[in-house]
Amino acid sequence: MDHRRSIRRRPSPRPLAAALVATGLAVAGAVPALAPAAADPRQQEPSPLAVGTGGAISTVDPEASRVGLEVLRRGGNAVDAAVAAAAALGVTEPYSAGIGGGGYFLHYDAETGVVETIDGRETAPQAMPHDAFVDPATGEPYNFTPELVTSGVSVGTPGTPATWDLALERWGTLSLAEALRPATQLARRGFVVDETFRSQTLDNAERFAAFPATAELFLPGGDAPAVGSVFRNRDLADTYSLLAKHGVEAFYGGRLAQEMVDAVQHPVTDPATDLPVPPGYLELEDLAGYEALVREPTRVDYRGLDVYGMAPSSSGGSTVGEALNILERFDLAGMSDAEYLHHYLEASALAFADRGAAVGDPAYVDVPLKTLLSDEYAAERACLIDPAKALPKPLPPGDLTADGEPCTAAAPVEDPDTENVSTTNLTVVDASGDVVEYTLTIEQTGGSGIVVPGRGFLLNNELTDFTAVWDEADPNRIEPGKRPRSSISPTLVMQDGAPVLALGSPGGSTIITTVLQTLTNRIDRGMPIGEALAAPRAAQRNTATVTAEPAFIEAYGPALEAYGHTLEASGDAFSSAAEIGAATAIEIGPDGLLTAVAEPQRRGGGAALVVDPVRH
């Protein structure tokens, strides 16, 4: 298939105007120019803010952002740059993303004005039974840790290669081979290990040591690579070269496909490991039949802005959208910080209650998306919020099947959440005004822990996102071929038909709260986009406690506890970091001026770059 297309030149997008609080762009003082290239191309420094024109990219990693920027400079469009950068993230962020996983891809076409998305979510194998997560030896569900997370049974059919191929075919100007070339070179020459890479390796050392192929790659000599050393992945370079030469058919069929099946069905483990590593159900037919799906996005109107998101199988667009509709009934701009955050937390809890009750793979579940995103339903949910006191959590879902009575409540329900905080995200805008927001993942930090021998990439453990115990009434129950519910939330904000802001984040179910908090920080609270993204975070996912970063607890804990909120410091069994999310965003201002932002500190800091920097 010929992926080449002519590169389109389009007018600059319209500026962000009256709907946002008039605070100006996220530029405080002088804007630094792009740093000159270091003598060693592997030496890349984080750059959380860049302002300019001609295109922009923001990722969590300097190497990946550099790859995407070079594609833009050479005339590639946003899709070309996004795929090239995503492939680079598979090299430098192998514990968060890669071809062994999946993701969700949002695209805006400036020529047509159309927003479309690709659902590249992993699927359950066709042979997977309803009781796949039940230990046959005991009749009880496997423990989440360590049995499910480090296993073949948690591996879903990967969707990332199919997503790249479909995006390039549909909207790109490069072939897959051209888009993979920079990442292939990066994998061969290597990148400099930072503290985040080393600490993530150490956090997963026991799991990685259980598999000889994984230990050989990520624990050379029995230890994590040292900070400042150069990490090379020649096996992944060879795998990328295979896909460049033969296309994604070489991934979904043939020898590589058989090797993935073998690794899942018969995991090769070190005799010394104590981890049980249950085998999985992936078969060649699952790989051969995988399809990435083009879906219509979700859309809500929020204070005169159109907010587009990801439809099911992800719950991101519906949950962010419902929470925004609830919050639109309140004057957040006129509130104190504590009042605003109280309403943000309550709206999030209400939306999460409905997410757990109603959202799943639409091929298997009748998702009441129209109701979830309606203003009428949001009004019913909003009137439950007490402006002076937190509601007891967990909250019940609303009546999504009929016209409910406003402000009614039912018995609280538990919605166990096992979606992990890893994943990675990128944002791209090109010179023509096309936009890509793309979140890709292998689930846990380190995925299943299983490296396909000799291939250089980890397999996902995304099926842990299913509810472990099968329940016919649960929209996220295990079923053959089904896509587990996700929280990935690539988001595009438009005004008068033109994009003004794109953003997304990793973070499991905290993706939803990170995107929601960043949007309300920017739109309602008037923070410049860099501050809106960097602000301390808290996540209320319809649980008894609010997960919050230490800085958030220090700043707002006493005030929110006065409302009845209980705050608990964030943390993760697979990472030593107490961070929520690692977002990226690009704001599109007057005359096409782009403000690209990344995390200044989370995950060691991200990298925002523009083609033509503004110099002051």
Known catalytic residues are 423
CB 95 within 8 A of CB 423: no
Q: Does an H or E element contain 610, and which?
A: strand 607-613
Which residues are CB-neighbours of 220 under 8 A, at least 6 positions away? none
Kindly tell me the burial class for residue 18, based on how many C-beta atoms sit within 10 Å of its own C-beta (0-12, 13-18, 19 or more): exposed
Q: Return d(Cα 369, Cα 379) in angstroms, integer.
A: 16
Q: Return d(Cα 348, Cα 338) in angstroms, integer.
A: 15
CB 153 within 8 A of CB 59: no
Is there a cis peptide before residue 62, judged by omega within 30 degrees of 0?
no
CB 502 within 8 A of CB 169: no
CB 261 within 8 A of CB 287: yes
Q: Return d(Cα 196, Cα 54) in angstroms, integer.
A: 31
In DSSP terms, which residues pair with 498 in a beta bridge? Answer: 495
Q: CA 206, 131, 368, 342 torsion: positive or negative?
A: negative
CB 320 within 8 A of CB 489: yes
Q: Return d(Cα 533, Cα 217) in angstroms, integer.
A: 34
Kindly tell me the burial class for residue 139, based on how many C-beta atoms sit within 10 Å of its own C-beta (0-12, 13-18, 19 or more): exposed
Amino acid at position 376, single letter: E
Token look-up 């009042």 returns 339
Kindly tell me the burial class for residue 502, based on how many C-beta atoms sit within 10 Å of its own C-beta (0-12, 13-18, 19 or more): buried
